[in-house]
Amino acid sequence: MNLAQQVKRVFILGMDGAGNFVQQANTPYLDRWLAKGAYTFEALAEMPTISAECWGSILHGVPPAVHGLNNDKAASEPFRDDSPHPSLFRLARAEFPEAKLASFVGWSPINSGIIEEGFGVHKVSLPDAELVLALNDYVAANPDVRLLFLQLDEPDGAGHRFGYGPDRPEYLDMIGTSDARIGSVLDQLEQLGLVEDSLILLLTDHGGGGADKYNHGSEHPMDRNVFWGCIGPGIRKGPLAGPVSITDTAAVVAWALGLKSPEHWDAKVPEGLLAVEEERSA
Average pLDDT over residues 267-279: 82
Residue of 104, 209, 75 whose CA lies nearest to 155: 209
Kindly report, residue by residue over 29-83, the tens digit of the pLDDT.
999 999 999 999 999 999 999 999 999 999 999 999 999 999 999 999 999 999 9
Give Cα separations from 71 to 110, 112, 122, 220, 225 (angstroms): 9, 12, 22, 20, 20
CATH code, domain with 62:
3.40.720.10
User: Judging by DSSP bridges, how do beta strands 122-125 and 198-204 pair with one another?
Assistant: unpaired
Domain residues for the domain of 251 are 3-281
How many domains does the chain contain in total? Answer: 1
C-beta separation of 155 from 168 below 8 A: no
Strands (E), the chain: 9-15, 38-44, 101-105, 122-125, 147-152, 198-204, 225-231, 238-239
Output the pLDDT for position 51. Answer: 98
Kindly report, residue by residue over 209-228, the tens digit of the pLDDT.
999 999 999 999 999 999 99
What's the mean per-residue pLDDT of the chain? 95
User: Is pLDDT at 128 greater than 70 in this prediction?
Assistant: yes
Average pLDDT over residues 236-256: 97
Residue of 128, 125, 124, 151 whose CA lies nearest to 138: 124
Kindly report, residue by residue over 202-214, the tens digit of the pLDDT.
999 999 999 999 9
Element (H, E) at 58: helix 51-60
Output the pLDDT for position 264. Answer: 93
